[in-house]
């Protein structure tokens, strides 16, 4: 089966909050998320036959979780000419409090 660029599905904020809360409950001191700049995302997507992004779970040298991000083509193959990491972690650079990054019962 090949990629057509429509993989994934949209979810509600409530569902996203439930998913991230479960992760944070199992990993209370872990990075909550990472930020990747638009220019890097656009560069990945601009590659020939890029149908989307593949994100590999990874660890920084200090052991904190991160992602390694590459484009993927229609044949499900990684496009290896551009590879990004060095993503900005939350914490310390997080959004204002919302259901994706806090426990509503604890407000943290």
* Mean pLDDT to the nearest integer, 32-55: 95
Q: What is the pLDDT of residue 60?
A: 86
Give the pLDDT confidence score for residue 44 in this predicted structure: 97
**Residue 75: is its pLDDT beyond 80?**
yes
Query: Over 70: is that where the pLDDT of 20 sits?
Result: yes
In a domain, 82, yes or no: yes
pTM for this predicted structure: 0.84
Number of Cβ atoms within 10 Å of the Cβ of 79: 18
Domain assignment of residue 73, given as a range: 13-90
> What is the number of domains present in the chain?
1
Q: What angle do CA 39, 52, 26 make, to 5 degrees?
A: 90
pLDDT tens digit sequence for 48-61: 999 999 999 998 89
Listed in sequence order, the residues at least 6 apart from 102 whose beta carbon sits closer than 8 Å to its beta carbon are: 108
Whole-Å CA distances, 107 to 27, 99, 101, 103: 16, 10, 9, 5
User: Within a domain: residue 99?
Assistant: no
Give the mean model confidence (pLDDT) for residues 90-107: 82
């Amino acid at each position: 089966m090949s990629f057509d660029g429509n993989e994934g599905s949209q979810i509600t904020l409530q569902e996203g909050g439930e998913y991230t809360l479960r992760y944070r409950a199992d990993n209370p001191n872990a990075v909550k998320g990472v930020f990747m700049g638009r220019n890097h995302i656009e560069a990945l997507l601009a590659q020939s036959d890029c149908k989307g992004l593949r994100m590999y779970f990874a660890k920084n040298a200090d052991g904190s979780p991160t992602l390694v991000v590459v484009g993927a083509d229609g044949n499900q193959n990684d496009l290896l000419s551009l590879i990004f990491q060095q993503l900005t972690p939350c914490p310390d650079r997080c959004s204002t409090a919302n259901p994706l990054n806090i426990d509503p019962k604890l407000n943290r």
